[in-house]
A and B are shown apart, each in its own frame.
Chain A
Amino acid sequence: MKLLQCPMNGTRPISEFVFGGELRAMPNPETSTDKEWAAYVHNRNGAPGLKKEWWYHGPSGTWFIAERNTLTEEVLRTYLFGQETAA
């Protein structure tokens, strides 16, 4: 059974979680070019490696960040958004 550490609820089976996509910085919609905005909306980086991702713990409704190596499937750490330094 795959397990994931929720920063609020502890270690839980992966079936309790939903993947929310890679954490990406949104360009300023007022100042970005159409090309930059289109790239943000439509393009994703599929190259394997260490990524920061949004994950959601369904039973408690907790969104958090997981740093995951998508090549080795290793989760280095998880933390609430904005609490990276405390993790």
Chain B
Amino acid sequence: MQMISQPTPIAYALKGISPKMGSPNGMDVVMSFSDEVTERKNRQLLGVCDVSCLSRFAIKGPGTAQWLEANKISIPAIANSWKLQKSGALVLRLGNSEFLIEDQPEGKLCAALNVADRKTLTGLYKVERSDVALILSGNQVLSLLSELCTLDLREKALGENALVMTQVAGISATIIRQSLNNEPVYRLWCDGTYGAFMWDTMLEIAVEHGGGAVGFSSHYKL
């Protein structure tokens, strides 16, 4: 059977350039935009990276916390917070009874949850998501966020495991700050249909600050 790759939500914004592409998890994303030195410079100054291809699983309903714990997921204690699993997977608690889980590139947690038995508990509703997921990195990242978001997202204002749902460039988005490969980065998820707009908007600002687009392989080695 022929496997068909799914385009990334930012595919439209990539028209006209020819970056090195790859298909982790069956989605066509940019692995690198330029040579390794430039990618590293952008990543460390102000880099915008598309990681929409990471597997995600979302579920909501009154029985969700109990069901996740029964499936050996360590969940955040309160809404609007997140927790890292031993596997590196992120568990985001979007509300009292709504969760979003995102795997590392070769993680299997989302695939396992997709086929896990949900009939033993009532009040479980799987949520279909088509997020654009971005990694914002570099020492100038707050300059970008302060232009697009009204909230103070500095380290002292945004708690270590806090999650905020706010508007970025006028688009509803979920933001956390985490450490990735020992570098502090911001993670952002928003509806995939806004992907090209979000990408273009962020990239324009990133370039103004001397940064730019960063490929998937700059953050993850496959």
Interface residues of A (CB under 8 A from B): 1, 8-9, 12-13, 15-16, 57-60, 62
Contacts and interface: CB of A to CB of B under 8 A. Distances in A.
Contact of A12 (B94, B166, B170, B173): B166
B173 A13 contact: no
A20 B31 CA distance: 44
A8 B167 contact: no
A24 to B, nearest CB: 26
A8 B166 contact: no
Nearest to A1: B150
Task: Give the size range of B's interface with the partner.
Answer: 10 to 19
B79 A12 contact: no
B85 interface: no
A58 B80 contact: no
Nearest to B96: A8
Interface in B77-125: 79-80, 94-95
Given A8-B80, A59-B172, A16 B95 contact: no
B150 A13 contact: yes
Contact of A15 (B80, B165, B167, B173): B167
B79 A16 contact: no
Nearest to A62: B95
B164 interface: yes
A61 to B, nearest CB: 8
B151 interface: yes
Contact of A58 (B79, B151, B167, B174): B167
Contacts of A13: 150, 167
A12 B151 contact: yes
Given A15-B167, A16-B166, A60-B165, A9 B172 contact: no
Contacts of A12: 150-151, 166
A67 B143 CA distance: 36
A13 B172 CA distance: 13
Query: Which residue, of B94, B167, B174, has the highest number of chain A Cβ atoms within 10 A?
Result: B167
Given A8-B80, A9-B80, A59 B165 contact: yes
